[in-house]
């Protein structure tokens, strides 16, 4: 997998844009929606309770495309990825983020380091036989009372299926639905598991986001987020 994403370090964004061009939406539209969701997660999960600082980890961050949209969301942000070339590019593009290459099955961090660990469209690249280990590693690096979150493609959305089919580095993708994700969180020992679907409407207006929240329990949106407490 590392070699595949190494080869896309210079034109990752272009490859994604090509896979979603039929939608008429830019890659940034999807990135902003994810960033807004993560900002909201910090508030709803009360990670700043008592004014404490929030340290976050992006597991499988790739070239760091999401990170410019997360400016100010956390007090500090780390990112790790199996692709060393992607990490090098991410560091150049986002000097305020701390990056590490992850070349082993274990994340390169001590137990309980982070308040929040998230993985955006990463798990579908992990072999299903290793899914539980992936969730266990996220749990290990999050402090007690902290939160882990995965954002994934909704396999029940036909346009999402088309985008995955068109994406050159998603040919190995094994999509998991929100129920699969919730089950994995439970098996890994997480609590207070919540799921929501989003990216239902091609608009970032406040009204559109409110409508999406109403329909979030239904598997309609292009992606979903599943989060849980340690």
> What is the average per-residue pLDDT within 60-78?
96
Tell me, yes or no, if the pTM score tops 0.75. yes
Which pLDDT value is given to residue 18? 62
The pLDDT of 74-86, averaged and rounded, is 96
Percent of the chain past pLDDT 70, that is, above it, reads 91
Q: What's the distance, CA 111 to chain centroid?
A: 20
Determine the pLDDT at residue 2: 52
3-state helix, strand, coil in the chain (%, to 5): 45, 20, 35
Domain 2-229: state its class: alpha beta
Structure confidence at residue 6 (pLDDT)? 47
Mean pLDDT of 141-161: 96
Average of per-residue pLDDT across 125-142: 97
The CB density around residue 87, as the number of other CB atoms within 10 Å, is: 24
pLDDT digits (tens, 9 = 90+) for 3-22: 545 444 455 656 566 667 76
What's the confidence (pLDDT) of residue 197? 98
pLDDT digits (tens, 9 = 90+) for 33-54: 999 999 999 999 999 987 789 9
Looking at the chain, which runs of residues are DSSP E strands? Answer: 55-59, 76-81, 98-101, 114-120, 142-153, 191-198, 223-229
Distance from chain centroid for Cα 57: 10
pLDDT, mean over the chain: 91
CA atoms within 13 A on the CB side of 158: 0
Q: Which helix (H) or strand (E) holds 161?
A: helix 158-166
Give the number of C-alpha atoms closer than 13 A to the C-alpha of residue 47, restricted to the C-beta side. Answer: 30
């Amino acid at each position: 997998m590392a070699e595949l994403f190494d080869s896309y370090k210079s034109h990752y964004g272009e490859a994604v844009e090509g896979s979603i061009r039929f939608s008429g939406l830019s890659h940034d539209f999807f990135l902003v929606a994810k960033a807004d969701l993560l900002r909201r997660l910090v508030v709803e999960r009360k990670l700043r309770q008592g004014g404490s600082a929030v340290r976050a980890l992006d597991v499988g961050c790739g070239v760091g495309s999401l990170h410019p949209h997360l400016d100010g969301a956390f007090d500090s942000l780390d990112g790790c990825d199996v692709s060393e070339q992607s990490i090098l590019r991410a560091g150049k593009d986002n000097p305020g983020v701390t990056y590490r290459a992850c070349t082993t099955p274990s994340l390169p961090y001590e137990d309980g380091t982070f308040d929040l660990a998230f993985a955006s469209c990463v798990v579908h690249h992990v072999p299903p036989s290793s899914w539980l280990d992936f969730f266990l590693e996220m749990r290990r690096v999050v402090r007690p009372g902290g939160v882990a979150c995965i954002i994934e493609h909704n396999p029940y959305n036909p346009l999402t299926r088309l985008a995955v089919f068109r994406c050159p580095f998603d040919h190995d993708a094994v999509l998991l639905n929100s129920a699969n994700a919730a089950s994995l969180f439970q098996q890994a020992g997480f609590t207070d598991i919540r799921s929501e679907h989003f990216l239902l409407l091609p608009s970032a207006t406040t009204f559109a986001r409110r409508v999406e929240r109403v329909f979030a329990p239904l598997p309609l949106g292009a992606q979903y987020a599943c989060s849980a407490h340690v």
